[in-house]
Amino acid sequence: MRQREGEVAGLGLRIVVVTFEARERAEEYVREVGLGWPLLIDRRRVLYRAYGMARGRRSAIWGPATWWAYARLLVRGHRPRRPTGDVNQLGGDVLVDPVGRLALHHVGTGPADRPAVGALLERIRRGDRD
């Protein structure tokens, strides 16, 4: 997403990251990755539940797609860290348009299940809705 941040801004979009991690861990994450977007902490997972992001199946969380994603990170020189939070909590991507309508709703089946940024931006340009 960072590589396409100018495109995102050009479409009039703003990015907000949501986590359920404790404040200390969230602050550490912001420092580690140099996060420049707002980070909301949802400890009670109200937003997660509202968007249907429940706990994932162990087989999906630790399946081949996840291991493949970790392998790609290693090849790029990134060393995955040991998880500190609830690794079974599903995440996703939610786009809300400026008037509050849901523009995209994707609940991942595991950590490797993320739509490509290019595909997200193309859907926005076309005005597709989920």
Looking at residue 11, its pLDDT comes to: 82
| Percent share of the chain, pLDDT over 90 | 28
Looking at residue 49, its pLDDT comes to: 94
Contacts for 8 with CB less than 8 Å, ≥ 6 apart: 1, 15, 121
Domain boundaries of the chain, sorted by first residue:
2-126
Chain segment 20-61, per-residue pLDDT in tens: 999 999 999 899 889 999 999 999 999 999 999 988 777 666
Looking at residue 61, its pLDDT comes to: 67
Average pLDDT over residues 104-118: 84
Average pLDDT over residues 105-124: 84
CA distance 130 to 118: 17
How many CA atoms are closer than 13 Å to the CA of 67, on its beta-carbon side? 5
Domain 2-126 listed as CATH 3.40.30: yes
Chain segment 57-81, per-residue pLDDT in tens: 776 667 676 667 778 778 888 776 6
